[in-house]
Amino acid sequence: MGKITFYEDRNFQGGSYECMSDCADMSSHMSRCHSCKVESGCFVIYDRTNYMGNQYFLKSGEYPDYMNMMGMCSGIRSCRMIPMHKGQYKMKIYERENFGGQSNEMMEDCDNIQDRYSMSDCQSCHVMDGHWLTYEQPQYRGRMMYMRPGEYRSFKDMGYDGVRFHSFRRIMDSC
């Protein structure tokens, strides 16, 4: 089970809110959040409510001023706990929306889909097993998106209009 504590001010000062599950809207618990501690597990934090906007992956550790460190201007607005996964990882990626175009099945990390699969884009996918992080640039750089098992017909529907993902990594940390 995971546990994260959010603090109103930098360096773990001010009011706090302890969270051990998903939270779609942090504003119901605190008006602002400038630092946090992940005591156990792994979390994805979002700069908009309802798990939307820019995302950041956090594992156990202290984040005394995450806004400067991660460039989050508006602060944490929602968070999602990543459940522990044991077993295989499997995802099918598609070149076009709605599972169209070229497709490839992945079971391991891929630092560049262009080099490995000769795919110019990934605009939809189906995660069959495991939890994944996708990145808009090769080598796990740029904006990131957390993907749990399910179908993702269009990244536009998730607030990623015009974004194409080019690298993928399994979440294998002790979450």
Positive or negative: CA dihedral 124, 133, 63, 37? positive
DSSP H or E run through 69: helix 66-70
User: What pLDDT, on the 0 to 100 scale, is given for residue 67?
Assistant: 64
User: What pLDDT, on the 0 to 100 scale, is given for residue 47?
Assistant: 86
Contacts (Cβ under 8 Å, ≥6 apart) of 142: 135, 136
CA distance 67 to 69: 6
The answer to whether the beta carbons of residues 102 and 95 sit under 8 Å apart is: yes
Query: Which residues of the chain does CATH 2.60.20.10 include?
Result: 3-82, 90-170
Write down the CATH superfamily of domain 90-170: Crystallins (2.60.20.10)
Contacts (Cβ under 8 Å, ≥6 apart) of 135: 141, 142, 143, 144, 165, 166, 167, 168, 169
What is the pTM (predicted TM-score) of this model? 0.88
Kindly compute the dihedral angle of the four CA atoms of residues 47, 51, 18, 62, in this order, to the nearest 10 degrees.
-50
- 3-82 has CATH 2.60.20.10 classification: yes
User: What pLDDT, on the 0 to 100 scale, is given for residue 74?
Assistant: 66
Supply angle C-alpha 66, 172, 61, rounded to 5: 30
Report, as an integer, the average pLDDT of 120-142: 94
pLDDT in tens, 91-108: 999 999 999 999 999 999
For residue 48 the two structure tokens come to 């908009």
Is 70 exceeded by the pLDDT of residue 72?
no
